[in-house]
Amino acid sequence: MVGQKRRIGRGWTIGGGALLVAVACTPTPQSSSVVISDSISSGWIDATATLDPATTPVYEGDAPMKFDFLKDMRKGDGFTLSVYSMGAHSGTHIDAPMHFVRDGATIDRVPLEPLIGPARVIDIPDGVQAINAAELGRHDWKGVPRVLFRTRSSLRGWMSSSTFHRDFAYIAPDAAQLLADAGVRLVGVDYISAEQFSAPAPMTHRILLGKGIPIVEGLSLEHVSAGDYDLIVLPIKVAGHEGAPARAVLRKR
């Protein structure tokens, strides 16, 4: 275990990087379970778009979202049971290398390390559609392991609108190359693709995924300001496929 450890009351506080974990190891009379300090769960911002066929945009040509109840207590059934039908790239989701790399890792084989750790949210002005090398050069991102772009999609609330907007901000291939060459471990955007709509070739995806860099798409950043955060973004663990919906949370550093 890396970091320092000091005693607080009946628990241990374990310092590791920017995260602080406090665990009470002595069971209370009421319960023998381990108690986790509230400091772990406080301050987190949910950066996940709610999956809802009425409000979630679906990329043009992708599978529609269909949610239904097989059983419903509100209609007199003894329990409630749901069924979901949607594409793997619905709402907030992660693209694994397999998405555009023939022998790339599947979503269940993406390591945890890129998905958890320090991240920087970068504000891109509303008037910018192409996040190219020139635009990237206007921002402080070098040395940051995870880069998340907050764009016109957040300013206009597009991740909570069922209308698909073709003119979303995207990461141009030259910017993707700079990010990959700099050793960035994860890249995220606030609409359902990082690639320009109708791009002649998916070069941004090929560049990032070709370096094993997972892409988080469809982040909900409407209420997130630019700055440095701790990031946790975990996809559903689906065997053998190229992507999956994910839950993303941020906490200010």
The model's pLDDT over 64-113, given as tens digits with 9 standing for 90+, comes to 999 999 999 999 999 999 999 999 999 999 999 999 999 999 999 999 99
* pLDDT tier for residue 41 given thresholds of 50, 70 and 90: confident
pLDDT tens per residue across span 2-33: 444 444 333 333 334 444 444 444 444 444 44
Residue range 45-51: mean pLDDT, rounded: 98
Roughly how many angstroms between the first and final C-alpha of the chain, as a whole number? 22
CA distance 190 to 184: 18
pLDDT at 30: 47
Does residue 99 carry a catalytic annotation? yes
Pick the catalytic residue from 89, 99, 139, 241. 99
Query: Please, what is the average pLDDT of the chain?
Result: 89
Gap between the Cα atoms of 116 and 250, Å rounded: 10
Tokens linked to 197? 């709509």
242 or 14, higher pLDDT: 242
pLDDT at residue 223 in the model: 96
Q: Which residues pair with 117 in a beta bridge?
A: 231
